[in-house]
Structure 1
């Protein structure tokens, strides 16, 4: 009987240690999972912030390019008008020169 009670106690102690070990392992895993989740969320937030900043920078660059193109279009329109006036003036000058040559 003495051997049976020692074996029963050893079995009970082993069972209790197993249960405590399982509980401690589960708590450690749960805490590690929480920590990893928080780190992932933090890294995702940093990545999203960097991406947003880059998109904002690109957006400002596109806006600047649009303004430059509008300015170039205005300059081209102005040059087209000036060239048209110069052509009209040259045409008129040629007619006057032709008239002077006919008179001479």
Structure 2
């Protein structure tokens, strides 16, 4: 009878061990699924941030191109003004001399 009791205890221990293993396996799957969902959400936030940065960058590029055109026009206008001032000075010098 002690041998049968030992076998029953061993089988009971195996069943409990197997059930504990299955329970831990299920918990691990739930934890992995939750972590995967969190990573996907974080990647989504990062993707949106990168898209926002790209949009801002394109807007800045357009603004820089516009400012570059304006600076070029101002430089041309200043060059023209300097020529007119130089001509006025030269004419003024001729009248004096």
In the superposition, the TM-score normalised over structure 1's length comes to 0.85
Name which of 21, 44, 47 aligns with 2:32: 44
How many matched pairs? 92
Name which of 81, 95, 100 aligns with 2:69: 81
Name which of 10, 30, 48 aligns with 1:22: 10
Say which one has the larger Rg: 1
> Residues of 2 paired with 1:28 and 1:98: CA distance?
103
Structure 1: runs of 5+ lacking an equivalent: 1-12
* Shift >2 Å, 4+ stretches: none
Q: Which residue does the alignment assign to 1:4? A: none
Q: Which residue does the alignment assign to 2:81? A: 93
Confirm whether residue 61 of structure 1 aligns to residue 52 of structure 2: no
RMSD between aligned residues? 0.8
> Residues of 2 paired with 1:25 and 1:43: CA distance?
27
